[in-house]
Amino acid sequence: MSYLYALAAAALFSVSVPAGKLLLARLRPLELSALCYLGSGLGLAAWRLLARAPGEAPLGRRDLPSAAGFVLAGGVLAPLLLFTGLERTSASSASMLLNFELVFTSLIAVAVFREHGGGRFWTAAALITAGGLALSWEGGPAGVGWGAALVLGASFMWGVDNNLTARVSIKDPVTIAMIKGLAGGAVNALLAWRSGGGAPPAGWAAAALALGLLSYGVSLVLFIRAMRGLGASRAGAFFGAYPFMGAALGVAVLGEPVTGRLLAGGALMAGAFLLLALERHGHPHRHEALEHEHSHTHDDRHHSHGHGEAPGAAHSHPHRHEPAEHSHPHSPDAHHRHSH
């Protein structure tokens, strides 16, 4: 199910590619970015006010460092680095360099947060990166100097953002995505205001807000749900399908031609998805004592604790995992962040 969440998140985000091209006819890039972030944050805030989150755990005091980190890295520094870099390098070079977000996400997840890598995973990550480069390559040099370095810096910051978000992915995903949207929207709106220009046309602004809620807000909620079961590295790998999905939508919606780059990128990504979908990772491992709070049921081997009459539906409360040692197939989720 977690794989489906990640692919659904990628599909929704890919809508922003052809839709964004249409909206850029009347909106400046900074305006579009600000409106998309604000649409995400404000739309999810309205949803949070109208709908309860049954069984979801709220962010706690121990989550604040990670929350502050992903707001700073993904909502403030990454957009600032990207738009500054875009002033010094071409859009095609920037698009190609942004594919390294997957590489940085995976390297940080494995090297810093001890997620399991392995030959199958790194082969899949290389195929997805190659597929993204194939889709964005338009000939000529990739770009060097400060512009390229700043775009790479943005990719690195989004890699940090993904990993810090994964640390709190067991908490309410709507609240996490709402915080990111409001923070990113405020920063990008300030950048748009500082760059000059009048207010955007109301109808086009409304369309951008709606696009942001779908492609940034709902997509991020699904991506966080994917990270719960897969960890940052594997969820990010599946999310890396969005360049191909966006290119395919460009063919279907905008009538863009089917090119060799599109076919090559699709073939490389399909091979990566097969590698990851067929992955089976299991070995004897030990769980140290752990105490946390998150949404869970009592139908798995990690949540057999009792508290009176156990509810059948998902619920959340602080609970303790006693030390245990066993063997079963698993992904690098919140309960399996051990090293190998």
**Residue 323: per-residue pLDDT:** 67
**Residue 45: per-residue pLDDT:** 94
Helices 242-254 and 260-277 meet at what angle, rounded to 10? 140
Domain ranges in the chain are: 2-54+63-279
| Three-class DSSP category at 326 | strand
H or E segment at 282? Answer: strand 282-287
**Residue 143: per-residue pLDDT:** 46
Greatest CA separation found in the chain?
66
Question: Dihedral angle at the C-alpha atoms of 267, 271, 276, 278, nearest 10 degrees?
Answer: 130
Structure tokens at 165: 């978000």
**Residue 290: per-residue pLDDT:** 57
Q: Flag whether the pTM goes above 0.85.
A: no
**Residue 53: per-residue pLDDT:** 62
Structure tokens at 33: 């970015």
Nearest residue to 214 via CA among 1, 3, 9: 9
Rounded to whole angstroms, the Cα distance separating 235 from 230 reads 6
Query: pLDDT below 50 — which residues of the chain?
Result: 142-143, 283, 328, 330, 336
**Residue 120: per-residue pLDDT:** 77
